[in-house]
Chain A
Amino acid sequence: MISPIHGSSPRISPRGRRRFLRQLGLAAAGTLVTPPLLQSCRGGGGGADAPGAGGELVISTFPLYIDGDEPGAPGSVARFRADTGIQVRYLEDINDMRQFFARIQPDLAAGRPISQDLLVLTSWLAERLIGLGWLDPLPLAEVPNARNLIPSLRDPSWDPQGRYSLPWQSGIAGIAYNIKATGRELTGVDDLFDPALKGRVSALLEMRDTMGLLMLGDGKDISQPSWDAAQPSFDRLEKARRDGQIRRFTGNDYQNDLLAGNLAACIGWSGDVAQLSLDDPDLRFLVPESGGVLWADVMLMPKGARHQEAVARWLNWVYDPVEAARIAAAVQYISPVEGVQEILAQDPATAELARSPLMFPDAGMQSRLKVFGPLSETEEARWEERFARITEG
């Protein structure tokens, strides 16, 4: 690595070498400037076109969204494998849903099956995939446990007949804060714009969660979101970004900043904060009086999925209340399976979870939770463009 500095190669004249290197430098000028990024969109993106390994159920989902293996206590994936003999490739490879969509899009658009048999994605993306015709209906006839689905998630707006999707977990977008850093309890959306917290507030890159929470704070209806009604919230967000009130826009990574003390308050997700507060009891989660955004991540079967029988077994297995209770205890989101609360209440180790209003919203909480309604294709484009202009400067 160091030797070339001490002398030029004897075979090429220094002048020729310099010219060669200069041309190389010019070429490098081009290479370093991102065209690889654009190339990646042309062919099918990473991994999506790899053939599914024989007889293996392939699931793509978000990280840390199930109970993992612990010493002496196998996680759900391992227990499913042991119970059914079905091999599972459980991929925690979804970080940003829109990027994941860009990855699977080329294959699904061309009518080619992707390697995954089951995807866990948020409801608005499920709605888009259903509309595009890129999903197969779930084999619900072979999933008797699907009847355990909690009533509030039946006949959802994103999948009116409930044929294509079954919820994995659901949760709340609200305000997470560190009471030591804020020095006081927070009460509502306005607190995020408090000058005392300047530069120590973050919002989510997930547009529906951030905009939904702000619009609810402005007293707007988000079940039928309209462009005009959203403008004051957009303006408020834009101003806060320009003024440096908002430090970052984040995905899951707000958690590190919250723990490290770089953030005093942020828009976050209920289950994350429930888990984090085990490490740091100063963390709080607030669903403002004006309302919190209720969202659901759902299980979907991409068109041409190869192992539909195994998918049915998996769905049935995770909708067994006993198994669902274990998953719920680990992820601490709202379980979509009826009976989980009772099972958690019976075990002294988990009894406290059964009383959590964030996992099992009572009537008062329920009335404050709103689902962000559908946006038409053209509306969504307009919303996302304005939102991106705010988040990406």
Chain B
Amino acid sequence: MLASPKAEGHRRARRWWPWALLAPGLVWLIGLYLLPLLALVPLSLSEPVSRFGLDTVFRWRLANYGEVLGAYGPVLLRSFGFALVSTGLGLLLAYPLAYGIRFRGGRWQPLLIGLVVLPSLTSYLVRAIGWTSLLGDNGPVLGLITALGLTDLGNGLGLLRDGRLLNTPTAVVLGLTSNQLPFLVLPLVVAMQRIDRRLLEAAADLHAGGLRRFRLVVWPLSRPGLASALLLSLIPAAGDVVNPLFLGGPNERMVGNTIENLLLVQLQAPRAAALALVLMALISLAVVLQLRTGGLDDLALP
């Protein structure tokens, strides 16, 4: 059958439409994200030309990777450790919170969600600096701990260091947790929104108690939310720069701080690039593993 030239033109236009719509975004992503990212690969295999320049020559210098892994392996481990602990802690807080918002929030739901998001409206740099006065040696948090006589307990559990809170791992984890909380709550609320109330009613009709309803209905159906919450929290937490800088001390530096120092202070752009790529590779690996094990298609994202 012969198509009229007009119909042919229509079809062609229709084929190009989605690309035209995608173009601005694609240009943006390719030009400002993908290309610079790819440029990191040759940079990470280069050598600095001189001590005081950021100019480099490409030499297939794979040793950069060995060097940064050898020197900064412990920092990488620490970063992922902090990210995991803060995400775990955040989930413990976020799950009941999301549950409460979804099933007990009633008409206050939008307001409650707004309140969860509210702290994110201030710059997280400002929040970290705010934490320094709250957690300082003469700050209210430590004052409360001292007044309750919990200092020795805190020291014993390793939460406080010589009775101090600021510039300890605890402070960094607290900072990270508070940053990640909205990213944990929102996907969980989304997942729980999708739970049909009638399922709970049906379970109740079948004489399932509250705990059983939770175990058999709510928990399995909210797990996709858990999976995406994990991703949304773990990824930024592992690369965080601000919290370890302000709330930690030299023993709490994370890999983001190391990359910054390598690039801007030591002027070792190739090593900084290598470390950044190692971090990205590890995170991408974590994401892939997560997507493979967690319910892939049911991932709830806000």
Contact = CB atoms under 8 A, between A and B. Distances in A.
Whether chains A and B associate is yes
A393 B265 contact: no
Given A38-B40, A261-B138, A25 B280 contact: no
Interface in B37-56: 37, 39-40, 43, 51-55
Given A26-B287, A32-B235, A392-B250, A244 B265 contact: no
Contact of B167 (A106, A109, A247, A378): A247
A38 B36 contact: yes
A12 interface: no
Interface stretch (A1-9, A73-81, A314-322): A1-9
Contacts of B75: 392-393
Instruction: Give the most central of A5, A19, A34, A106: most B CB within 10 Å.
Output: A34
Given A5-B113, A25-B231, A246 B249 contact: yes
A157 to B, nearest CB: 19
Interface stretch (A97-105, A215-223, A333-341): A97-105
Main secondary structure on chain A at its contact with chain B? helix
A38 B43 contact: yes
B97 interface: no
Contacts of B267: 98, 102
Interface string A1-30: 110111000000001001101101111111
B184 interface: no
Contact of A28 (B54, B193, B235, B250): B235
A64 interface: no
Main secondary structure on chain B at its contact with chain A? helix
Nearest to B239: A33
Contact of A29 (B51, B74, B256, B287): B287
B162 A244 contact: yes
A388 interface: yes
Interface stretch (A265-273, A347-355, A379-387): A379-387
A393 B239 contact: no
B280 A37 contact: no
A5 B250 contact: no
A35 interface: yes
Interface string A202-227: 00000000000000000000000000
A115 B34 CA distance: 31
Contact of A21 (B235, B265, B301): B301
A29 B266 contact: no
Interface residues of A, number: 63
Contacts of A184: none
Interface stretch (B13-21, B145-153, B268-276): B268-276
A5 B138 contact: no
B209 to A, nearest CB: 29
A311 B59 CA distance: 44
A260 B228 CA distance: 40
A370 interface: no
Interface string A77-121: 000000000000000000010110110011001000000000000
Interface residues of B, number: 73
Nearest to A256: B132
Given A260-B136, A392-B258, A6 B193 contact: yes
Contacts of B189: 5
A5 B269 contact: no
A105 B265 CA distance: 12
Contact of A242 (B39, B251, B265): B251
A21 B299 contact: yes
A31 interface: yes
B177 to A, nearest CB: 17
Given A5-B302, A392-B257, 10 more contacts: A25-B228, A29-B284, A32-B235, A34-B279, A37-B272, A38-B272, A42-B36, A261-B136, A380-B51, A384-B265
23 contacts: A4-B302, A15-B297, A18-B299, A21-B299, A21-B301, A28-B235, A30-B37, A33-B280, A36-B36, A37-B263, A38-B263, A38-B276, A42-B54, A96-B264, A98-B265, A102-B263, A109-B55, A199-B161, A247-B164, A249-B250, A261-B136, A262-B137, A262-B167
Nearest 10 interchain pairs by C-beta: A393-B253, A21-B301, A39-B36, A33-B239, A261-B138, A98-B265, A99-B264, A392-B261, A41-B54, A29-B287
